[in-house]
Amino acid sequence: MVEATVRIVAPEDKRKELLDVLGSLKGPTEATKGCQGCHVLSDVSHESIVLYVVRWNDRSAMEEHFRSERFRRLLPYIEMSLEPPQVEVNSLSRIGGLSIILEALGISPT
């Protein structure tokens, strides 16, 4: 699995517009073959910071998304970021949930 995160610091007058664009991308992106989830997040302590996080089955599905017209709608907002935008692409080898927390705490799941 591959996870891509784009961090944008939105100008105050463009924040709502950016969130609207990302919100309009979320559903169609999640419906795309190979997408495991798409999230739009805002930092509670610095609301100008917006994260776009998408998980893909593999790198080729992610790259196809980056080439899509849908993703290209986001490019002007990435370019207008008040700070250099941060883009991270991570390969995930172990995915888990509560079981990982319980394991770390030494608690046996029931």
pLDDT digits over 44-79, tens only?
Answer: 899 899 999 999 999 999 999 999 999 999 999 999
Contacts (Cβ under 8 Å, ≥6 apart) of 42: 19, 49, 50, 51
With contact defined as beta carbons under 8 Å apart, do 10 and 34 qualify? no
Give the architecture-level CATH label for domain 2-105: 2-Layer Sandwich (3.30)
pLDDT bracket for residue 101 (50, 70, 90): confident
- Note the pTM of the prediction, 2 decimals: 0.83
Q: List the chain domain ranges.
A: 2-105
